[in-house]
């Protein structure tokens, strides 16, 4: 009897450990194509799936499998996590849910009780969970970090990270590394002082903080005139990527505050609009690269960095690639941040080019003025926060882009805690209606291989798969499948509302699914 | 940090689609405790209000409050929902139910700043309208054939904007420009580049070239990456899949014909404007 009990305990224990998402599993997420374990699918940020059941030859046969209604309004920006047949997602107003990934039926729902007044610049959104062991981690709109139990959705821990009364809000999907949960703040439109935090996944204790605006005595502080650092912005609201061999986290930062007026904050304004390489254990800065120094156009660098090992100019290098909101595609050496290459991937007028050190050559005739100055790309960027995708099959980077140019009209402001702090107004150039496209860029040359036109500027990114297809969503509600090599349209479906996120792929019972949020629902598609 | 043009949502502060709605104005009492604009702090208030207006209201009402793709001119002197500071305060803070003018989360002091800005705008030059509205009505429904395309109180065509309340939203000079030079200020449809509102791109002139080469022109009632829904010049709805047509051309010109002095004399124009000035939405 004792032996049987021991055996039962052993088996039970074994089953539990198998169902847990260990750091080892996250490290090797590419070995589990049936799952989607991190925001970008794997630490390298590729948003690429090796599943190939859905391919160029059969994508036109896709059928809806289920839809899940969140039951709330506003932009639905989640990237779900999928583990062994269970899908975990977050929704508007800090809702969350777990679903049977095969049927879309809910296992549990979570709704955070939020304070009455919160100030996310751009909607009561959340971009997803991170998972580690049997816990899900969420960064909340009231600037807390919380852990939920994967089986029940019960709250395990809840820590205050920042003061939401000062317009700190969180919308980012955390990144789980080792036993850490890493998040970055939003609030760049309200004069917050940005930071990136790491929390102990077990206890919620804060392990380190990196201030993205250096204080007195800190390196980089001299890049802020006077006291402007105190309201310097530089938020960090998009999930970074991670190189376990170098033990470096790559986390991009956003605009300096005020976002569109530089008069009171002379200097380069470090570490706004940067790529930061932080030691994963300590949060110490290993290197940085600033894409848009002293930005006045709101060119947040908050685009997912892609990590790629490839030959560069004849020798193997560890590369970091980013299609930046300022309109340039950058290639850096991710061991030391050395600038290797930049090339515009659309219409850029704010800079005439990038010099050999990676600094923009400014178009000085386009200073923001009280009368209004037309600048391309507009404040919303040639691309934005929605994820790009890199396919190792095609060597192409898939980027959703916008043609919008804006007329910037300066309107200096005085900082008031918790209030908008923009310093300018921008409106789309009334002479041309902005459109968009999904572009395929060869990362080895920066040249465009194909472009698929959208009628409107996009809000959703791209997912590429080993089926040689790219899944994308447009702002007019179309979920679209394209040939990854040619951009040829294979299939689309109208989902009835704008798509504000990017697809993921997973597999249950031998069937490949793709899931995309649109409106307030999550839609799952598969072959018949 | 704007991920997207979501600020335009806040900017959907349609101060006066609301003003056009015809919703009865309720008497409003502003509490004495509420901050109001005093002469001493006026310059600072105007400056703050300018910034707030530009950031939050201008996408609909225009950068200078002279009306945009969605919101009416706020310098016209016409305030359908009340012209007192208290009434404008209420319109901004509470919105107008049944219209696109939403309630807004401004602090009271911010609303007062916006009001200070609106009050600071130079009042429009009073354009003397000397025409005869009855004659203008005959021109509208007769010789000028305006009613072929425009509807007033349920009578008229479908292609152009319904003008039943046009005087409450547009200045006389705007109306004259629209008649004499209709391409001068094109409607670009919604100032909604990311389609946050999912609203149709009304009055965007489009020509569809069919597979057989036939050109069909109209205004796009809606359009996306794959399809277009057209109200054609013969006032029928026609739907096209883009894969089935040769081209979809956005004309960047108005379907409204230009009424030169040969087509509409100066006195006829005065009569027509006098008629349009009577259209304020009253039933």
pLDDT tens for B85-142 read: 999 999 999 988 777 788 887 888 889 999 999 988 866 565 678 899 999 999 999 9
Confidence (pLDDT) at B282: 66
The per-residue pLDDT for B17 is: 31
Q: How confident is the model at residue B65 (pLDDT cuts 50, 70, 90)?
A: confident
User: Does residue B257 carry a pLDDT above 80?
Assistant: yes
Q: Please answer yes or no on whether B63 and A372 come within 8 Å at the CB atom.
A: yes
Annotated catalytic residue within A298, A300, A406, A483: A298
pLDDT tens digits along B17-63: 333 222 333 334 444 345 566 666 788 888 888 878 877 787 678 77
Contacts with B48 from chain A: Cβ below 8 Å: 413
The chain B residue lying nearest A423, using CA atoms, is B51
Lookup result for tokens 């690639």: A321
**Which residue of chain B has the CA closest to A411?**
B51
* pLDDT above 80: residue B196: no
Please tell me the predicted confidence (pLDDT) of residue A119. Answer: 84
Of the candidate ranges A86-95, A249-258, A503-512, B122-131, the one whose mean pLDDT is the lowest: B122-131
- Please give the tally of structural domains in chain A: 1
Residue labelled with tokens 């994308």: A472
**ipTM of this complex:** 0.90
**Residue B240 reports pLDDT greater than 60:** yes
Contacts of B55 in chain A (CB under 8 A): 411, 420, 422, 425
Q: Are A379 and A297 in contact (CB under 8 A)?
A: yes
Residue B72: the pLDDT is: 78
As a whole number, mean pLDDT of residues A156-172 equals: 96
The model's confidence at residue B13, banded by pLDDT at 50, 70 and 90, is very low
For the domain spanning B204-250, the CATH number is 2.30.30.100
Average pLDDT over residues A87-106: 98
Model confidence at A422: pLDDT above 90: no
Distance separating alpha carbons of residues A335 and A123, to the nearest angstrom: 36
The answer to whether the peptide bond before residue A377 is cis (omega within 30 degrees of 0) is yes
Rounded alpha-carbon distances, angstroms, from residue A49 to A30, A35, A466, A513, B126: 8, 9, 6, 11, 66
Kindly state whether A122 is in contact with chain B, defined as any CB-CB distance less than 8 angstroms.
yes
Cβ-Cβ contacts under 8 Å, A127 against chain B: none
Choice among A28-42, A185-199, B154-168, B199-213 with the minimum mean pLDDT? B199-213
Residue tagged 């010789």 (tokens): B143
SS (H, E, C) A89-106: EECHHHEEEEEECCCCCE
CATH superfamily of domain region B7-120: Cytochrome c-like domain (1.10.760.10)
Domain region containing A99: 22-445+456-526
Strand pairing category for A195-200 and A180-184: antiparallel
Per residue, what are the HEC states of chain B? CCCCCCHHHHCCCCCCCHHHCCCCCCCCCCCCCCCCCCCCCHHHHHHHHHHHHHHHCHHHHCCCCCCCCCCCCCCCCCCCCCCCHHHHHHHHHHCCCCCCCCCCCCCHHHHHHHHHHHHHCCCCCCCCCCCCHHHHHHHHHCCCCHHHCCEECCEECCCCCCCCCHHHHCCHHHHHHHHHCCCCCCCCCCCCCCCCCCCCCCCEEEEEEECCCCEEEEEEEEECCCEEEEEECCCCEEEEEHHHEEEEEECCCCCCCCCCCCCCCHHHHHHHHHHHCCCCCCC
Tell me the average pLDDT across A488-517: 97
Chain A, 438 to 467: residues with Cβ < 8 Å from chain B are: 453-457, 459
CB contact burial A229-258 (16+ within 10 A = b; e otherwise): bebbbbbbbbbbbbbeebebbbbbbbbbbb
Q: Do B4 and A454 touch (CB under 8 A)?
A: no
Residue A298 falls in the annotated catalytic set: yes
Q: What is the pTM of this model?
A: 0.87
* pLDDT band at residue A12 using 50, 70 and 90 as cut-offs: very low
Domain membership flag for residue A307: yes
* Percent of chain A residues past pLDDT 90, beyond the cut: 86
Specify the pLDDT at position A13: 41
Query: Exposed, middle or buried by CB within 10 Å (0-12, 13-18, 19+), for A175?
Result: buried
A174 in a domain, yes or no? Answer: yes
- B1·A187 Cβ contact <8 A: yes
Residue B70 near residue B191, CB atoms below 8 Å: yes
- Contact residues on chain A for B247, CB-CB shorter than 8 A: none
A258-267, A412-421, A508-517: range with lowest mean pLDDT: A412-421
Separation in Å, CA of B106 to nearest CA in chain A: 10
Lowest-confidence region among A443-457, B135-149, B202-216: B202-216
CA-based nearest residue in chain A for residue B51: A411
A125, pLDDT greater than 60: yes
Q: Which helix (H) or strand (E) holds A379?
A: none
pLDDT of residue B69: 61
Question: Which CATH number covers residue A246?
Answer: 2.140.10.10
Q: Residue B67's pLDDT is what?
A: 72
Predicted pLDDT of residue B126: 59
């Amino acid at each position: 009897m004792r032996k049987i009990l021991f055996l039962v305990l052993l088996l039970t224990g074994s089953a539990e450990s198998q169902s847990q998402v260990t750091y080892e599993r996250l490290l090797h997420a590419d070995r589990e194509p049936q799952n989607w374990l991190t925001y970008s699918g794997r630490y390298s940020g590729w948003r690429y799936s090796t599943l190939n059941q859905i391919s160029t030859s059969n994508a036109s046969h896709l059928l809806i499998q289920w839809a899940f209604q969140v039951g709330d309004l506003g932009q639905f920006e989640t990237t779900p996590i999928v583990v062994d047949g269970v899908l975990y997602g977050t929704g508007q107003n800090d809702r969350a849910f777990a679903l049977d990934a095969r049927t879309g039926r809910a296992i549990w729902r979570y709704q955070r009780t939020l304070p009455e007044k919160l100030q996310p610049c751009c909607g009561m959104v959340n971009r997803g969970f991170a998972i580690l062991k049997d816990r899900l981690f969420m960064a909340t709109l009231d600037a807390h970090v919380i852990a939920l139990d994967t089986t029940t959705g019960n709250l395990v821990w809840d820590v205050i990270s920042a003061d939401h009364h000062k317009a700190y809000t969180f919308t980012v999907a955390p990144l789980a590394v080792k036993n850490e949960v890493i998040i970055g703040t939003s609030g760049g439109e309200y004069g917050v002082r940005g930071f990136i935090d790491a929390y102990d996944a077990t206890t919620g204790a804060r392990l380190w903080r990196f201030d993205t605006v250096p204080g007195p005595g800190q390196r980089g502080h001299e890049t802020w005139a006077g006291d402007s650092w105190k309201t310097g912005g530089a938020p960090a609201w998009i999930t970074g990527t991670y190189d376990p061999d170098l033990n470096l986290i790559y986390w991009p930062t956003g605009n300096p505050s005020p976002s569109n007026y530089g008069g009171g904050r002379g200097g380069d304004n470090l570490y706004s609009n940067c790529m930061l390489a932080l030691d994963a254990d300590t949060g110490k800065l290993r290197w940085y690269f600033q894409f848009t120094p002293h930005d006045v156009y709101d060119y947040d660098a908050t685009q997912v960095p892609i990590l790629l090992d490839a030959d560069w100019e004849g020798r193997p290098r560890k590369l970091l690639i980013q299609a930046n909101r300022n309109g340039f595609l950058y290639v850096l050496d991710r061991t030391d941040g050395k600038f290797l290459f930049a090339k515009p991937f659309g219409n850029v007028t704010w800079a005439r080019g990038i010099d050999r050190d990676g600094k923009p050559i400014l178009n000085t005739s386009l200073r923001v003025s009280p009368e209004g100055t037309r600048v391309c790309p507009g404040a919303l960027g040639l691309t934005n926060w929605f994820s790009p995708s890199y396919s190792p099959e095609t060597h192409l980077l898939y980027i959703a882009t916008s043609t919008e140019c804006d007329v910037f009209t300066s309107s200096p402001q005085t900082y008031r805690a918790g209030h908008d702090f923009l310093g300018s107004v921008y409106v789309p150039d009334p002479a041309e209606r902005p459109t968009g496209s999904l572009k395929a860029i060869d990362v080895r040359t920066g040249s465009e291989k194909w472009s698929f036109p959208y009628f409107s500027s996009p809000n959703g990114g791209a997912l590429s798969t080993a089926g040689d297809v790219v899944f994308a969503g447009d702002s007019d509600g179309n979920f679209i499948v394209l040939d990854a090599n040619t951009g040829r349209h294979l299939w689309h479906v109208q989902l009835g509302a704008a798509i504000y996120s990017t697809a993921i792929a997973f597999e249950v019972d031998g069937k490949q699914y793709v899931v995309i949020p649109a409106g307030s629902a999550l839609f799952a598609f598969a072959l018949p | 940090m704007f991920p997207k043009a979501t600020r335009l949502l806040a900017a959907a502060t349609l101060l006066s689609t609301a003003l056009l709605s015809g919703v009865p104005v309720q008497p409003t009492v502003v509490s004495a405790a509420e901050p109001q604009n005093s002469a001493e702090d006026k310059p600072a208030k105007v400056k703050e209000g300018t910034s707030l207006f530009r950031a939050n209201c201008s996408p609909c009402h225009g950068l200078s409050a002279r009306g945009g793709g969605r919101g009416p001119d706020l310098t016209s002197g016409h305030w359908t929902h009340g012209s007192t500071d208290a009434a404008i305060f209420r319109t901004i803070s509470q919105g107008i139910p049944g219209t696109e003018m939403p309630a807004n989360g401004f602090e009271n002091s911010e609303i007062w700043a916006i009001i200070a800005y609106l009050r600071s705008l130079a009042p429009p030059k009073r354009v003397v309208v000397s025409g005869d509205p009855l004659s203008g009505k005959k021109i509208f429904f007769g010789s000028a054939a305006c009613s072929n395309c425009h509807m007033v109180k349920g009578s008229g065509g479908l292609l152009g904007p319904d003008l039943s309340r046009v005087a409450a939203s547009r200045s006389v000079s705007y109306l004259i420009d629209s008649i004499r030079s209709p391409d001068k200020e094109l409607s670009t449809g919604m100032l909604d580049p990311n389609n946050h509102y999912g609203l149709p791109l009304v009055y965007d002139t489009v020509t569809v070239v069919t597979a057989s080469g036939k050109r069909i022109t109209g205004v796009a009632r809606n359009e996306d990456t794959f399809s277009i829904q057209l109200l054609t010049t013969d006032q029928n709805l026609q739907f096209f899949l883009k894969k089935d047509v040769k081209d979809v051309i956005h004309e960047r010109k108005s379907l409204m014909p230009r009424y030169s002095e040969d087509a509409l004399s100066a006195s006829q124009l005065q009569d027509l404007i006098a008629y349009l000035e009577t259209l304020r939405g009253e039933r």
